[in-house]
Amino acid sequence: MAGGNAIRGTRVGAGPMGESERGETAPRSRISYFCSNGHITTPSFASEADIPDSWDCPRCGLPAGRDGENPPAPPRTEPYKTHLAYVKERRSDADGAAILEEALGRLRASREL
């Protein structure tokens, strides 16, 4: 059943509006960025805006540069370190063996009592 609402499906600002109502758009320039996966991104910037040297690729998230022949390398991510890996950075194997022998000596002494 059709209702009597004449503005159904419209929203504020909808409808034909010309440049005179919205104002003039800023002149734009399209700049191409290339990522290491071969994706090309072409965002548009205002002509007087500062153009960044790098841009994040919207497809893969890697950094993209303006040089198509030499795109920036993907960032190197460090793997997660366990507690044992941090301990091994601070202590040598000889230190670890000495600490282990001392702990075992205390354990043996407590069992003899």
* Binding-site sequence positions for Zn(2+): 35, 39, 57, 60
Are the CB atoms for 31 and 13 separated by under 8 Å? no
Helix (H) or strand (E) holding 30: strand 28-30
What CA–CA distances, in Å, run from 65 to 22, 38, 70, 76, 85? 34, 11, 8, 17, 36
> For residue 65, how many other CB atoms are within 10 A of its CB?
18
Q: Annotated binding site: which residue ranges?
A: 35, 39, 57, 60
